[in-house]
Each structure stands twice: as C-alpha cells, then as structure tokens.
Amino acid sequence: MTTYDRTGLTYSVTRRPDARIAAVINDALHGLESVANIGAGTGSYETPNTVVAVEPSRVMIDQRPEGAAPVVQAEAEHLPIGTGAVDAAAAFLTVHHWADLSAGVAEMMRIARRRVVIFTWDNTVFRQFWLVREYLPAAAETDARLAVPISALTSMLGEERVAVVPVPVPHDCVDGFAGAYWRRPQVYLERAAQDGMSLLALTPRSSLEEGFSRLRADLADGSWQRRHAELLQRTHLDLGYRLLVADVG
C-alpha cells in the first residue's frame, strides 16, 4: 500500500490545480512536445503535452479525470519508459513521498532528453508559516521529516543547470496543499481539507487537536485576525514553494 492509498481519498475534490500555479509550470514546459508526469496522482498540473503519467497508487489513478494522459501504475524509482523517450520529465508535489529519492531523480534524468521540472517546497521557509509555528508543532515535525532539502535536489540535478523559481501562493488558492489557506484559516479546521494534506494526514490526530482548538478559539475572539492583520491585506505569500527547472539535454 502506498502513502496515497491511505491519504489520497479526497484528492479529486480538495486538490484541484490552481490556474496561477499552473501558469508557472506551463511556462517551464512550454515548447516541449512530450512530457512524462511522474508521481502523477490525480493529474493536477498535467500539461496538454503530457504523453504519459506514472503513478503507484490505484486510489489516485481511479480519481484521474476522463481525458487525462494515459497512466501506468509504477514507481518513480523504476520508470517503465525508455531512455530519452520524452522531452521532459515532471514531478509535482510528490518527491517527498518517494522511497529512494536519488533513484527517482536519476530515472527522470534518464528518460528526459531536454528538461526535468520538479515542484516542491523549501522547509526552511515553510516552517515559519503561522499554522505550524503557532498552532501545530507536531505537524511542523512531520513537515521537517517529509521535506526534501532544495540543496539536495539541485545537487542531484546538477547545480549549474538548475533554476529555482519561487511560486507564491495566492490568497484564494484552489489547490488545497498545506499552505493554500494562509489567509483563510478557518478552512484548516475542516476535516476534508485536513485529509488532503500530507502535513496533517500523516500526523497523529491526537497531537493536532489542542492546536486546532486554540485556532478555533483565536478565530472566534478575533485574536488571530489581530495578530495577522498584515496578512489580510496581501494577495500572495511566499511559503517556500519552489519550481526547479533543470536543462539536462
């Protein structure tokens, strides 16, 4: 059983692609005729030039929409794709779940003729996020355990050929990943939203309840709003989400 067999049941509802984030990804893959989406999940951020998707979880595969790219059930570490078979290999918010990261990245570089694109996050930035810093220290520990250092990824890809692109999160982001609701704190109290985030779904429920209770109380009496008044005026926030673009050809 993969991690997403347990945590991915609501992804088709809570993890819809956000058009503004998709635009950054599409720009990185523009002009490439064939893309392989690795760790593809339900198909979020798959570009029109995606010719094959690879996903190990049957739960996720079953949620892929009609018209999505053809999918193969397999793992990133053992891609059933020929060497140099596609122009680009892409992976979106997935590398933190790979059993052997270096093997998975090596496989992406093997199959890609021109480019490797990875959407991930920088824990050194995200750990300052009010949700984990003020309310959910246990989730902060989960995030630290899951997160892949950006330096590790750039080293694997070849530092001299990697561009690291910040991807700010819009205040009304429709993709319910961990930082999506930075200006809508009440959504973090909804169980469906929690279940769609590895950060929370992989943290013992008992260690989250006290923090959720404090957040609920702070929202009710206005404490959160007063403490974070500056955030309520912002349209985007850098929470550490990064797009790594490596030209390998």
Query: β-strand 71-72 against 236-237: which pairing, if any?
Result: unpaired
13 falls in which pLDDT band (50, 70, 90)? low
Quote the Cα angle for 4-9-13, to 5°: 120
Mean pLDDT calculated for residue range 211-230 = 98
Q: Is the pTM of this model over 0.85?
A: yes
Rounded-to-integer distance, Cα 179 and Cα 202, Å: 16
22 falls in which pLDDT band (50, 70, 90)? very high
Whether the predicted pLDDT of 5 surpasses 80 = no
Whether the predicted pLDDT of 4 surpasses 90 = no
Whether the predicted pLDDT of 11 surpasses 70 = no
pLDDT value at residue 6: 47
Whether the predicted pLDDT of 8 surpasses 50 = no
> pLDDT per residue over 108-160, tens digit each?
999 999 999 999 999 999 999 999 999 999 999 999 999 999 999 999 999 99
The dihedral of CA 143, 128, 244, 90: what is its sign?
positive
Indicate the CATH number for domain 3-247: 3.40.50.150
- For the residues of 201-247, what is the DSSP string, one character each? HTS-GGGTHHHHHHHHHHHHHTHHHHHTTTGGG-SEE--SEEEEEEE
Cβ-contact 183, 232 below 8 angstroms? yes
7 falls in which pLDDT band (50, 70, 90)? very low
> Where exactly are the structural domains of the chain?
3-247
Tell me the HSE value of 55 on the side-chain side, using a 13 A CA sphere: 27
> pLDDT per residue over 79-112, tens digit each?
999 999 999 999 999 999 999 999 999 999 999 9
